[in-house]
Amino acid sequence: MKERVEKLRTLLDKSGLDGALITGLTAIRYYSGFTSDEAALVITGKSASLLTDFRYTIQAREQSPDFEVVEVGRGALLPTVDKLLKDDGCKRVAFENHTMTVSVFEKYKALDYEFVPFSEEMNKPRLIKTADEIADLQRAQNMADEGFKTLLTRIGSGMTEKEVAAELDYINAKLGSECPSFDTIVGSGPNGAMCHAIPGDRRLQKGDLVVLDFGCVYNGYHSDMTRTFAVGEVDDFSKKIYDIVRTAQQKALDALKAGITGKELDAIARDYIASKGYGETFGHSLGHGFGLMIHEAPNASTASEWTFEPGMTITVEPGIYIEGRLGVRIEDCCVVTETGKIDLVSSTKELLSVE
């Protein structure tokens, strides 16, 4: 964590800032390693302090040995932050404008400092994943791949979408996932046309395509994958739509490398789907970054201004959604390299079927 703190100090110095107040849980974990939901960090050129209450001080000392752990009593957070900043002679202080609420900011504004919005700069070091971070992402995805493989041996027609989601979450927990990356999505038959379908009481039926979107978490790092599978034999139209999405995804995966823009990558998949007559049925962006959060920068979309660099993460997830009939999405989570990508997902793209 020392290296991360030093990177932040460099960013602060370049912006003429004396210190940083970090209150967002993701940034707290990234810079300190601390995982509780009750904390704040005060980082200056002279010191690095982790503020938490009595319940978490032992945990804080174990997880964040590079920080001075400061126990804060009820109602004492603001005066403690004030003292730490004042002791180090701070005048201009960075804060997380993207995560701090207005009501909380109003309280900090009463202190005698110039608080400067700094969320985007503070998050920049997270854009480029280190080898250790990529290893954690791969561990998370390995669990998801194994979970998907196991799930297909345990489900079939007659099960509800809720039961499928519950079974998958249980399997992944047994494999070691800290929690689901997000609420598991299961959309069967016509429900698959809802991109973010909430698992319900509909039972899987012969002839359905089922969209399954899920991920695992390892050491705080999130994986994300989608596979669409069949229940029994599906009709030729379903197979055609599946093949279009599969080809669109592969074209984008083949093009992914450092230097391509998010807009260009999105267009590769989107233009192919449009050429087959289904452009209006692909209404979401092609992909998003992932890491300590399931959705983070960069992104690939029609409006994306990102240019991908080695170490950035991006999902590639085109889809076709036909209301009242079916949905198909295939998603891999990738790490960008100089000449291509590391595809963290190993599950087949073949249209698999369960009975």
Concatenated DSSP letters of 97-116? TTTS-HHHHHHHHTSSSEEE
Location of structure tokens 């590079």: 66
Query: What are the tens digits of pLDDT across the range 94-124?
Result: 999 999 999 999 999 999 999 999 999 999 9
Q: Which helix (H) or strand (E) holds 31?
A: helix 25-32
As given in the structure block, the two tokens for residue 117 are 């919005």
As given in the structure block, the two tokens for residue 160 are 């509800």
Q: Residue 74 and residue 32: Cα distance in Å, rounded?
A: 22
Residue pair 260/307 in contact by the 8 Å Cβ criterion: yes
Residue pair 223/133 in contact by the 8 Å Cβ criterion: no
Question: Which of 221, 67, 233, 213 lies closest to 151, judged by CA?
Answer: 213
What SS3 class is residue 182?
A: coil
Residue ranges, comma separated, of all CATH 3.40.350.10 domains in the chain are 2-126
Q: Residue 240 and residue 188: Cα distance in Å, rounded?
A: 17
Q: What is the pLDDT of residue 1?
A: 85
Residue ranges, comma separated, of all CATH 3.90.230.10 domains in the chain are 131-354
Residue pair 273/279 in contact by the 8 Å Cβ criterion: yes
Pairing of strands 92-95, 19-22: parallel
Q: How many CB atoms lie within 10 A of CB 33?
A: 19
**160: DSSP letter:** B
Q: How many CB atoms lie within 10 A of CB 240?
A: 14
Location of structure tokens 């290893």: 135
Query: In 45-196, where does DSSP find H-type helix?
Result: 57-63, 77-87, 102-109, 119-127, 131-151, 161-175
Kindly report the CATH class assigned to 2-126.
alpha beta
Per-residue pLDDT of the chain (355 residues; tens, 9 = 90+): 899 999 999 999 999 999 999 999 999 999 999 999 899 999 999 999 999 999 999 999 999 999 999 999 988 999 999 999 999 999 999 999 999 999 999 999 999 999 999 999 999 999 999 999 999 999 999 999 999 999 999 999 999 999 999 999 999 999 999 999 999 999 999 999 999 999 999 999 999 999 999 999 999 999 999 999 999 999 999 999 999 999 999 999 999 999 999 999 999 999 999 999 999 999 999 999 999 999 999 999 999 999 999 999 999 999 999 999 999 999 999 999 999 999 999 999 999 999 9
DSSP secondary structure, 218-254, as one string: ETTEE--EEEEEEES---HHHHHHHHHHHHHHHHHHH
Question: Which of 220, 35, 214 lies closest to 136, judged by CA?
Answer: 220
What CATH number belongs to 131-354?
3.90.230.10
Helix, strand, coil shares, percent, the chain, to 5: 40, 25, 40
